[in-house]
Amino acid sequence: MSQRDASMGQHDPLVIVGTGLAGYTVARELRKLDGDTPLVIVSRNDGSFYSKPALSNALAMKKAPSELASFDAQAMAAQLRAQIWTYRQVERIVPVEHAIVVDGQRLRYRALVLATGAAPRRVPIEGNGAGDVLSVNDLHDYVRFRETLALRRSVAIVGAGLIGCEFANDLIAAGYAVSLIDPADAPLSRLLPPEVGAEYARALADAGVDLRLSRGVSAIVRRESGYRLTLTDGAVLDADVVVSAIGLVPNTSLASAAGLQIEGGIATDAWCRTSAPDVYALGDCAAIEGRVQPYVLPIMHAARALARTLCGTLTQVVFPVMPIVVKTPVVPAVIVPPATPQGRWTIDVGTHDSPHAARALFEDPATKRLMGFALLGAATADKAALLKQMASGAGS
């Protein structure tokens, strides 16, 4: 930790903002190394611990929203030997004073960890129904979503990225009529090469998803029951419920108001250190060495390293090869996106004698080194071997 005025007490707590996976995992990892440091965790939600990835397959898992939280804030406080301040909004960070302001109250910190997550992206859409569109990015949103689904039959999902596709699969399997709309010409367009995306689209369509690709939504108007969506090609579509899944924007406003450097997320170096002394960031809010990685595995790796740093052993975050697993049982997908565009895809659709199986390898053309891959359906069985190959730096 940096040198600072000795009057900034050794007795000030370590403060974590956020009780999502990032905030709680740092706290857990810290407690494995240090049982004593006073710890205060502040959250504007109820502080319950739940698995966010479970939100997009809870219907298939036959889980009611009330079953998704494994521990409430009180149980977490006991486990972590921490004070957990729930429903409290951090308003300001005052780095020069090593303090935050929480609902008007000043709280000094010895070190501050920002784990403030991200918020659903919004784009302006015309029509009196646009404000009713739901986004699901936390358990509270999910409770509302499930309440809204009751007695409804059809759902239009705007955005065919990972979360949109997972919800589409979950809803179709639960008997809802689902339309999935995206301006790209294939789902998961930022993760899959086009031919594999096309196969993934066929699998969703075979499962009954009404795919509306290569177009967006220009207006949403309320009907007597449900909504009418006008798409950018002029087509109309009726649905009882509309969900937006067009991506997340890191929550950086607290950090930027305090003068911290922002680079798409709260900018940190490879040690999760922000540009302010003793202030760290990780999770969906953070751009660690310029990359926002809003997934579970990067958070676990960052949290483990950061906990060691907070305990006095400066530890760099080293990310291994981390596959993205798309939880769509009708066509499971596993992807390691290439870190650079310099390379070439070799694509094999219809492998493994199995419907919708596909295997795409991204290689450096000169060295034949494997730099990424995308697997669909039965080809996902190749994941472990390909990860091993990538980790060893071998060619295909």
Consecutive H or E run containing 113: strand 111-114
Helix (H) or strand (E) holding 24: helix 21-33
CB distance 323 to 334 below 8 Å: yes
The least CB distance from residue 88 to ligand FAD, in Å, is: 6
Q: How far is the CB of 322 from ligand FAD (least distance, A)?
A: 8
Give the one residue of 48, 137, 154, 268 binding ligand FAD; rule: CB under 6 A: 137
Please, which residue, 42 or 272, has the CB nearer to ligand FAD? 42
Helices (H), 175-285: 194-206, 253-257
Mask for 144-173, x = binds ligand FAD (CB under 6 A): -------------------x----------
Nearer to ligand FAD, 115 or 149 (CB): 115
Nearer to ligand FAD by C-beta: 42 or 386? 42
Interaction of residue 116 with ligand FAD, rule CB under 6 A: yes
How far is Cα 51 from Cα 384, in angstroms, rounded to an integer?
A: 24
Q: How far is the CB of 141 from ligand FAD (least distance, A)?
A: 8
Query: Would you tell me how many other CB atoms lie within 10 Å of the CB of residue 348?
Result: 14
Footprint of ligand FAD on residues 56-95 (CB under 6 A)?
56, 89-90
Interface stretch with ligand FAD, choices 45-53, 76-84, 343-351, 352-360 (CB under 6 A)? 45-53
8 Å CB contact between 287 and 252: no
Verify binding: residue 42, ligand FAD, rule CB under 6 A.
yes
Candidates 12, 28, 33, 45; binder of ligand FAD (CB under 6 A) is 45
CB atoms within 10 A of CB 80: 19
Q: Look at residues 174, 170, 204, 175 and name the one whose alpha carbon lies nearest to residue 187.
A: 204
Q: How many residues bind ligand FAD (CB under 6 A)?
A: 33
| Using rule CB under 6 A, residue 338 touches ligand FAD | no
Asked whether position 52 contacts ligand FAD by CB under 6 A, the answer is yes
* One of 161, 283, 332, 338 touching ligand FAD (CB under 6 A): 283
Instruction: Establish how many alpha carbons lie within 13 A of residue 70's alpha carbon, considering only the half-sphere containing its beta carbon.
Output: 10
CB nearer to ligand FAD: give 136 or 334: 136
Who contacts 43 (Cβ-Cβ below 8 Å, separation ≥6)? 17, 18, 19, 23, 73, 84, 85, 86, 87, 88
Edge-to-edge order in the sheet of strand 324-326 = 324-326, 333-336, 370-376, 358-363, 344-349
Q: Which stretch binds ligand FAD (CB under 6 A): 47-55, 105-113, 182-190, 376-384?
A: 47-55
Burial degree of 225 (CB within 10 A; 0-12, 13-18, 19+): exposed
In the bound state with ligand FAD, the residue whose beta carbon lies nearer, of 343 and 372, is 372
Give the C-alpha separation, 355 to 331, whole Å: 9
Whole-number Cα distances in Å, 270 to 18, 28, 273, 288, 294: 21, 21, 7, 6, 16
Compute the least distance from the CB of residue 260 to ligand FAD, in Å: 14
Task: Among 8, 33, 34, 53, indicate the residue that binds ligand FAD (CB under 6 A).
Answer: 53
The correct pick among 13, 65, 95, 117 for binding ligand FAD (CB under 6 A) is: 117
Residue 341: how many other CB atoms lie within 10 Å: 6
From the list 43-51, 68-76, 216-224, 301-309, the region that binds ligand FAD by CB under 6 A is 43-51
Question: Which residues form the interface with ligand FAD (CB under 6 A)?
Answer: 17-23, 42-45, 52-53, 55-56, 89-90, 115-117, 136-137, 163, 251, 254, 283-284, 294-297, 299, 327
